[in-house]
């Protein structure tokens, strides 16, 4: 069993867990993901690695309650655990492979939307620890849905908060705030957008207009996580790629977002039916 050592509800529907997985923690890199299986007959659930600590032998995952399987995960408590945790999977962020002297000439701007803020954290942290300039935009519909504010502020040069309703920080969309920051001459050389697919699409369009390269993460498309189910097929640069084995990160300019959004909704009916008939058994004797 992979024991949960710490659990925290970041919002009423978003949960952060620290899980014992020593070998995974030593091998993990920014941008990668893992798969958890809560119980013997449980579903394989791909989750982005939100942090890792090789010394403690733990990895951190963040789960948003959106269906029956995520409800099973959030029902677990410290002292309980997962039947299986597999990883790290997927390709690490490209900057991990770059020469440091080249990387330190860059100025990264991360655009994090909603629960996508969690996987931004280890990337910003890694860059900050290696002396690279990093700014972060965290966006959400309202201030009550903002996560990782304190953590992110500690690993970036400038943190910018953005809410659709103006309840905290910049009033408007993350794309408008990005344009404002670029217009102020911040000198960004690379953008990374992680969040809802529609947000990444319009962030990419904004970056194109600004002449700013952008990387996006298609982790929300994954189902099986090993390339065998084919559910995460996406067209990138005119070629079929798999988000789980070829990604999850890709050049945003080359992603067919309309196709990706159609694919993202392919199991919506089944997910709704599963949640309606679901009875959580976690924790029962």
Examine the pLDDT at 281 and tell me if it is beyond 70: no
Assess whether pLDDT exceeds 90 at residue 277.
no
The token pair that represents 172 in the structure block: 């408007």
Mean pLDDT of 229-247: 89
- Mean pLDDT, range 61-74, rounded to an integer: 88
Q: What is the reported pLDDT for 158?
A: 97
Q: What is the pLDDT of residue 222?
A: 79
Residue 1 has pLDDT above 90, yes or no: no
Compute how many other C-beta atoms are within 10 angstroms of the C-beta atom of residue 25.
Answer: 22
Q: With 90 as the cut, is the pLDDT of residue 200 above it?
A: yes
For residue 20, pLDDT over 90 is answered with yes
284: pLDDT strictly greater than 50: no
**Which residue pairs, CB below 8 angstroms and at least 24 apart, start in 47-50?**
48/118, 48/119, 48/217, 48/219, 48/248, 49/87, 49/88, 49/119, 49/122, 50/16, 50/118, 50/119, 50/121, 50/122
pLDDT digits (tens, 9 = 90+) for 71-130: 889 999 999 999 999 999 999 999 999 999 999 999 999 999 999 999 999 999 999 999
Averaged over 171-184, what is the pLDDT? 97
Q: What is the pTM of this model?
A: 0.89
Calculate mean pLDDT across residues 119-145.
Answer: 97
Domains and CATH numbers, the chain: 2-90 (2.40.30.10), 94-217 (3.40.50.80)
- Checking if the pLDDT of 279 tops 90, the result is no
Segment 162-175 shows an average pLDDT of 96
Reference 189, options 158, 213, 157; nearest CA is: 213
**Torsions phi, psi for 17 (to 5 deg):** -130, 140
Report the pLDDT value the prediction gives residue 265, as an integer from 0 to 100. 64
For 175-189, what is the mean pLDDT? 97
Which residue's structure tokens are 């690993």? Answer: 155
* Mean pLDDT, residues 213-239 taken together: 86
The Cα–Cα gap between 122 and 117 comes to 10
Mean pLDDT value across residues 207-228: 88
Two structure tokens written together for 158: 């400038």
């Amino acid at each position: 069993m992979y024991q949960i050592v710490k659990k925290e509800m970041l919002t009423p529907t978003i949960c952060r867990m620290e899980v014992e997985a020593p070998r995974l923690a030593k091998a993990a890199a920014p941008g990668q993901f893992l798969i958890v299986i809560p119980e013997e007959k449980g579903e394989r659930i791909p989750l982005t690695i939100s942090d890792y600590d090789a010394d403690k032998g733990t990895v951190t995952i963040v789960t948003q309650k959106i269906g029956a399987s995520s409800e099973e995960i959030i029902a677990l408590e410290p002292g309980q655990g997962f039947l299986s945790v597999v990883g790290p999977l997927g390709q690490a962020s490209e900057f991990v492979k770059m020469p440091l002297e080249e990387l330190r000439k860059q100025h990264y701007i991360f655009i994090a939307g909603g629960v996508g803020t969690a996987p931004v954290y280890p990337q910003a942290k890694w860059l900050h620890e290696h002396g690279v300039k990093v700014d972060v935009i965290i966006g959400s519909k309202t201030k009550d849905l903002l996560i990782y504010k304190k953590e992110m502020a500690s690993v970036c040069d400038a943190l910018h908060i953005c809410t659709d309703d103006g309840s905290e920080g910049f009033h408007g969309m993350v794309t408008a705030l990005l344009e404002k920051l670029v217009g102020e001459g911040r000198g960004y050389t690379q953008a990374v957008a992680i969040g809802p697919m529609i947000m990444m699409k319009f962030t990419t369009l904004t970056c194109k207009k600004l002449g700013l390269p952008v990387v996006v993460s298609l982790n929300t498309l994954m189902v099986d996580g090993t390339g065998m189910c084919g559910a995460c097929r996406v067209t990138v640069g005119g070629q079929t790629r798999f988000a789980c084995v070829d990604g999850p990160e890709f050049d945003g300019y080359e992603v067919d977002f309309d196709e990706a959004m159609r694919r993202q909704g392919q199991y919506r009916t089944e997910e709704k039916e599963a949640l309606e008939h679901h009875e959580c058994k976690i924790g029962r004797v």
